[in-house]
Amino acid sequence: MSTQEEDKGLLWVDKYRPKTLDTLDIHPEWTEKLSSLCDQGNLPHLLFYGPSGAGKRTRIYAVLREIFASGIDKRQVQHKSLKVGDPPKEVELATITSAHHIELCPADVGYNDRLVIQEMVKEIASSKPIELGTVHRGYKVVVLHDIDAVSKQAQQALRRTMEKYTSCCRIIMTAESATRVMEPIRSRCLGIRISCPTEDEVKRVVKNIANKEGLSLPDSFVDQLVVTSEGNLRKAILWLQVSRAIGYSLDDNHKSINSTTWNMFSKCGFPWEQICYDIANTVIREQNPKQLWNIRNQLYDLFCHAIPGNVLFRKITTYLLRMVDEEVAPCICYWAAHYEHGMKQGTKEMFHLEAFLAKVMYLYYSHIHTQYSMALDDQL
């Protein structure tokens, strides 16, 4: 009974996270391959890449469990602080450790990521594992999250480390985009592409969870959930729990019960996405400095909630592309890439986003006005 008590406080995302390879719901093709990898007990370095919410971490844990059995169940969060560099600087980093593995996210320490990889990963990687319990594999596993977010130098530092200590250490990495992982690192590991779950898969998983929680889901709700989650399974499950928590009644005549929440939810997900939608809408509706000023306030609001600039760029651009004529769309793509590139190199995200939106206003304005004058010409 005690386990059930513990489960109560958990988010559904964690509660229903598959624990072993054979209970994974999606990507059956990889499940088989992964288990055959684990069978041999000896692992190459792995790089899991794919969009967020597709199940990269879940798979890593499943793989670790397959190899070390219950040895990885006792996990603890440790805040390690280490002195690095010259003059020595104190860097603090949260890690998750068990007897057989250590998990860290070098990108968290920002500028010092190279030093963390040099010092910490090498330190962990260069000592033999302690023989503990029944399972002994002769190597430890270092899990590095978001490897695509660390600097080039840090990736450089990883190259030889990966080769030198292969006898007692395996590195498993996750990345959202494989493009940003440099070629020499890619060529040292087995890449595993985890794609988004398909709509049917999302439906199946959501229905499964609802069943276990004793909820009955109307089909229209599930369909909407699939659209809103955009292939992100974590988001879908979170939304399911949120809908439950706000007392949203999940039966067939739901529309009459709580229509405002439903409206908000059905249009575009989280509140910040709603704001992005509004911004895109404003740009298309009215092009003048006053609107730009309004947008600025909305953008500041978004920045206050710590939404990263590139996410905003992506979201707003996708909304814009859905609204505009197809003649303008390629130009918008061009300028979106242009300003986002500038943003990556600069430091003030605000400037670049605003410049982009002003540009789109200008493009769209001149576009509709040429069309208008052409239409006039035709009439004459």
Partner 1 sequence: MAPSLPEDLPWVEKYRPNKIKDLVYQQEAAQLLHSCLTCGNLPHCLFYGPPGTGKTSAALAFCKELFPPEIYRDRVLELNASDERGIKVVREKIKRFAQGSVSSAKFEGYLCPPFKIIILDEADAITPDAQTALRRTMEQFSRITRFFLLCNYVTRVIDPLASRCAKFRFRPLPIELQMDRLKYIVGQEGISISEELLRRLTRACNGDLRRAIMALESAHRLSRGNNITEEDIDSVSWRVPDEIIARIDSTCRKISSLGENTLHFSELRNMAMDFINNGYPVSEIMYQLCDALISASHLNKLQKSVIMIRFARAEKMLVDGSDELLVLLDIFGVLFQVYNEPENVEKLISLTRN
Binding site for partner 1 (CB under 8 A): 33, 36-37, 39-40, 42, 44, 49-51, 54, 86, 117-118, 122, 126-128, 138, 153, 156-161, 163-164, 166-168, 177-180, 183-184, 186-191, 193-196, 230-231, 310, 313-314, 317-318, 321, 326-327, 329-331, 333-334, 336-338, 340-341, 344-345
Q: Which residues contact 117 (CB under 8 A, 6 or more apart)?
A: 106, 150, 154, 157, 158, 161
Nearer to partner 1, 7 or 163 (CB): 163
Nearer to partner 1, 212 or 330 (CB): 330
Q: Whole-number minimum distance, CB 66 to partner 1, in Å?
A: 14
Nearest to 234 by CA among 271, 266, 196: 196
Q: Whole-number minimum distance, CB 156 to partner 1, in Å?
A: 4
Q: Whole-number minimum distance, CB 15 to partner 1, in Å?
A: 26
- Cα 10 from Cα 277, distance rounded (Å): 32
b/e code 270-305 from CB counts within 10 Å (16+ = b): bebbebbbebbebbbeebeeebbeebeeebeebeee
Nearer to partner 1, 17 or 114 (CB): 114
**Three-state secondary structure of 91-142:** EEEEEEECCCEEEECHHHHHHHHHHHHHHHHHHHHCCCCCCCCCCCCCCEEE
Nearer to partner 1, 157 or 240 (CB): 157
Q: Whole-number minimum distance, CB 259 to partner 1, in Å?
A: 30
Nearer to partner 1, 93 or 196 (CB): 196
b/e code 86-116 from CB counts within 10 Å (16+ = b): eeeeebebebbbbbbbbbbbbbbbeebbbbb
Nearer to partner 1, 60 or 194 (CB): 194
Q: Whole-number minimum distance, CB 92 to partner 1, in Å?
A: 20
Q: Whole-number minimum distance, CB 6 to partner 1, in Å?
A: 33
- Cα 285 from Cα 359, distance rounded (Å): 14
Nearer to partner 1, 135 or 329 (CB): 329
Q: Whole-number minimum distance, CB 330 to partner 1, in Å?
A: 3
Residue written as token pair 């092009």: 287
Helices (H), ranges, 126-198: 152-164, 183-186
